[in-house]
Structure 1
Amino acid sequence: MMTKLNKLIQLFEQKFVAHPWHGVTLGENAPNEVKAYIEINPTDQIKYEIDKPSGHIFIDRPQKYSNIVPALYGFLPQTYCDTLVADYCMEKSGKTGIVGDADPLDIIVISERNIDRGDILVNCIPVGGFRMIDGGEADDKIIAVLKDDQAYGKMKNIDEIPSLVLDRIKHFFLTYKSNPNADGSDKKVEITDTYGKEEALKVINLSHQDYLNKYGNVNTDFADTLKALLG
């Protein structure tokens, strides 16, 4: 039975591309080293986003203003921002009434190299993050460095990242939705603090647990279902 089951799983893996959110794992060494799915790169003037049901990339919208994402931007597979992430955000920020944004955990990956395409997987090392709240929703942004990057790859914590690089990333997140003609009263995005590697790993683990609570263990459930069908 197990031989047939393993063979069938192997055929599925060979014939079909894995869903970037559900079918790709965080990585064998997660959360210290993770696999990130990149939706947008610094040359994009379009906001690309994953279509959750299908796993394909689609155009969410053209970027309205001059802001361009300053590094590779995407999400961590098999993560979900729900109750655990929201509770941790409230604990650390001292705010109340925060909920998860019901999306995968966002990540921005810093590299010295010019990578001019999205819809790719990259191995990276989390070094910290921004505790961001968007319209009352926990919307953490994990900061990572590309594994083996010649300039950033050996950096282990966020305090090793040049402050100007972090300021550029922070400015993007705080302003990319802002209307330049508004008086500021419409601003709903805030970054309450910047945290280091230890908290980043905590947020990743919580978001993975939120994912398991919502969707279960996709790989185990798939194998169990096939096993039941095979009798």
Structure 2
Amino acid sequence: MSTRLMSAVGANSTLHNASRAMLRRGLLVPRTAREALSSRAPRPLPPTASLLRGARPMLQHQSAKGEKWGGVPTGIAVAAAVMAAAALVSSRREDGHVPEVLAAEAYSLPIGRTSPQVCNCFIEVSRESRMKYEWDEETNMLKLDRVLHGAAFYPHDYGFIPQTLCGDGDPLDVLVLGTSALQPGSIVDVRPLGFMCMEDEKGLDEKVLAVPDKDPRFNHMTSLRDVPEHVLREITNFFETYKQLEKSKWVKVGGWKGTTDTHELIDKTHQKFLEEKKRIKGKQHGTAAVASATAGAGAAERRVKHAMD
């Protein structure tokens, strides 16, 4: 429990210190949080977003009598327990399924300070999973979009580069080579090596291939020439066949492009995102801004608007 608890509250030094004190003293958490932490909870675990919303006001709680719980201010201790519960809920897996993942608002994340050489990548799907998650801008959570209909599973971790916009109205997709599965909802600095040309029923849908920039095992990989040919064929085969059993869906896969072309693609899709953002901003300042912006906005416009909020 201690590792998960620390990961949940490590971003906040006050919570971090409080949780350490709680663990040292072997304190029990309040009843409601204890039930949430228990693997045999008598009722369904609350959504992680609700847990966090409940934790935030507790961070500001100051008891009139200066009440403390095991040497830790009551509000801080309860918040630490709730944050720990959120971490456990978000990391719990059953048959490879991740029900909910806490993360920042994915579409508003920066593209990366050294883009396109190194970009942020938001992970949606772990390698060897059939569960296709997508970031849901309405709930600010990962949502199960579909389960692959065939026997295949994603050969590598899968996500997208934020603040990009492709022809299908979605951000630029990325497959990340790695030595172990990444947690959905995590953010990884990736180094793009190339991309696979692809089109589906929604439009152009290129797939970037990248490696974790901070993994020394991939320091030697700087271009597609460093990727084994069989790995590229495996990825191509996966995308050629992964929608075959789905009605009204199709995929056309082309060849692979190198690092220079990939950097240009990232810049191009980022520029398209910025242009859409500027267009929406201009529309919102117009006389019919609200009516036009809310009446049937497309997927691309919704995502860019979400990043602006």
Q: Is 2:197 aligned against 1:131? A: yes
Larger Rg: 2
Bigger Cα displacement from structure 2, 115-124 vs 191-200 = 115-124
Distance 1:128 1:135 in 2: 23
SS in 2 for 1:31: coil
Identify the structure with the greater helix proportion.
2
Q: Displacement of 1:207 after TM fit? A: 0.5
Residue of structure 2 in register with 1:197 after alignment: 259
Matched length: 180
Q: Quick check: 1:131–1:193 contact (8 Å CA) kept in 2?
A: yes
Q: Is 2:119 aligned against 1:119? A: no
What pairs with 1:27-106 in structure 2 (closer than 5 Å)?
A: 27-81=112-166, 100-106=167-173
Q: Is 2:105 aligned against 1:19? A: yes
Q: Displacement of 1:44 after TM fit? A: 2.0
Distance 1:211 1:25 in 2: 12
Residue of structure 2 in register with 1:210 after alignment: 272
**Gap runs ≥5 in structure 2:** 1-55, 57-101, 281-309
Q: Quick check: 1:76–1:107 contact (8 Å CA) kept in 2?
A: yes
SS in 2 for 1:119: coil
Identify the structure with the greater strand proportion.
1
Picking from 166, 170, 176, the partner of 2:236 is 170
Distance 1:77 1:50 in 2: 11
Q: Percent identity, please.
A: 29
Q: Quick check: 2:123–2:182 contact (8 Å CA) kept in 1?
A: no
Runs of 4+ in 1 over 6 A off after TM superposition: none
Distance 1:191 1:206 in 2: 20
Q: Displacement of 1:116 after TM fit? A: 4.8
What pairs with 1:139-158 in structure 2 (closer than 5 Å)?
A: 139-158=205-224
Letter in 2 for 1:43: E
Q: Quick check: 1:43–1:116 contact (8 Å CA) kept in 2?
A: no
Q: Quick check: 1:48–1:60 contact (8 Å CA) kept in 2?
A: yes
Q: Displacement of 1:53 after TM fit? A: 3.0
> Higher RCO, 1 or 2 (CA under 8 Å, sep at least 6)?
1
* TM-score, length of structure 1 as denominator length: 0.72
Q: Quick check: 2:157–2:176 contact (8 Å CA) kept in 1?
A: yes
SS in 1 for 2:218: coil
Residue of structure 2 in register with 1:89 after alignment: none
Letter in 1 for 2:177: I
Superposed CA deviations along residues 114-147 of structure 1, whole A, max 9, x for unmatched, are 1252111011100100011113611011111111
Letter in 2 for 1:168: E
Distance 2:180 2:187 in 1: 15
Q: Quick check: 1:148–1:154 contact (8 Å CA) kept in 2?
A: no
